[in-house]
Structure formats: C-alpha cells, structure tokens
Amino acid sequence: MPYPIEDKLVIAVASSALFDLSESDKVFQEQGAIAYRDYQEEHLDVPLAKGVAFPFVRRFLNINKRFPDTSPVEVVLLSRNSSITGKRAFRSIEHHGLDISRAAFLEGKSPYPYIPAFNASLFLSSNEQDVLKAIDYEYPAGTVLPSQVVDDDDDGELRIAFDFDGVIADDASERVYKGGELEAFHKHESSKASIPHSPGPYVSA
C-alpha cells in the first residue's frame, strides 16, 4: 500500500533548479510567451540537461532505495513554469530515471502557497524572490545559486552542510555581532557560555 505524503520527508524544488532551463528562458526573454510555448512543444522529446539541484535531488531520492517498503522521502516540483514546460519536465524526469510524480506548474504565479499542501519541509528555487516570500511565511526555503553542475553517477552518497546560526541554532548571537560592536559580541558569548543555543527554524520545523 502506498504511503501518504503526510508521512514522508518532502522537498519541493523548482523546475529551473532541477533542470537547466536557460535556453528556454532565453527564447521567452527575447521572443515572448508564444514563441516560448512553441519552442517547448517542438522540444518535448529533447531531455532537459541537469540543473544545479539535480545531484542533490538524485541522491536524496536514493534514500528510498534503502527503504523500499516505506519510501520515506519524496520530491515534488513547484514551478512558475507553464503546463507545456511541465510536460517536457516530466519526460526529462523519466529520461533521467528520477522517481518524481507530483508537481504544480503555476503559469507565472509564485509557488510558495503550495508548500504546505505538499507537506514540504524545504523549498529550493533559483528564484530568490520566491524563496524570500516563502521565508516571509515561515516556510523553510533556500536559493539555489548558479554554479557548475557536477554529478558523478557512481557517487550516491548524500552530503548536506547546514549553517549554524539561524538554521541549526537561532540567530541571537549573529544579531549581536551584526550590531557592530565586537566587544559586545564577546561579552554576550561569554555570558551565555553555559547556556545551550535555542533551536533554529529548521530544527523546530
């Protein structure tokens, strides 16, 4: 029996983070929405190249291979893109062998309102404004920055690094530091040396 999404660890990712949509976006920017739609229809069977978040998503989904009876994790697509882009994205998902079956393609609307509907514990996007809106509504979210895509098919190990201040722990110390007085920061840290940090937003989410 399939396990409901409410019982899984879910990560939502934008299609532009999972795949390289730069060529498609160039058509949209230079020629407009109609040319963009026609371009996607003409390239439906041309798999999209891997995006910056692809290696992470592939390794994250590999967790299910370790626990096939429960499949405890899931990835959903939350995208500003059109439904025709969604069709191409799902053909690319099949081509790359990713186990992703849920998505919302919102035709230009910001996807952050759909984060709780999919029980997503994290939203990843290359659109900084969408990420900031998600954070404003207290949804854990992160911006995927442009970088070289390195995905070694023989490397299935998932490695995640978290910032401490403001993520694992609250940002009380960082706020004091940003106040500009280094001496005040040292006094604050010394006075709190025996007191554990309060949990950050991701720990308490």
The answer to whether 17 and 51 have CB atoms below 8 angstroms apart is yes
Query: Per the structure block, which two tokens stand in for 7?
Result: 């019982």
| Average predicted confidence (pLDDT) for the chain | 86
Q: What is the pLDDT of residues 127-168, one digit of tens each?
A: 999 999 998 998 989 999 888 887 777 777 888 777 777 667
Going by pLDDT thresholds of 50, 70 and 90, the confidence category of residue 1 is very low
pLDDT at 72 over 90: yes
pLDDT for residue 93 is more than 50: yes
The architecture that CATH gives domain 5-143 is 3-Layer(aba) Sandwich (3.40)
Residue of 176, 184, 64, 57 lying closest to 124 (CA atoms): 57
In this prediction, residue 11 carries a pLDDT of 96
Query: For the chain, which residues make up each domain, given as ranges?
Result: 5-143, 172-204
* Average pLDDT of span 52-74: 93
CA distance 57 to 98: 9
What percentage of the chain exceeds 70 in pLDDT? 88
pLDDT at 151: 79
Q: What is the pTM of this model?
A: 0.80
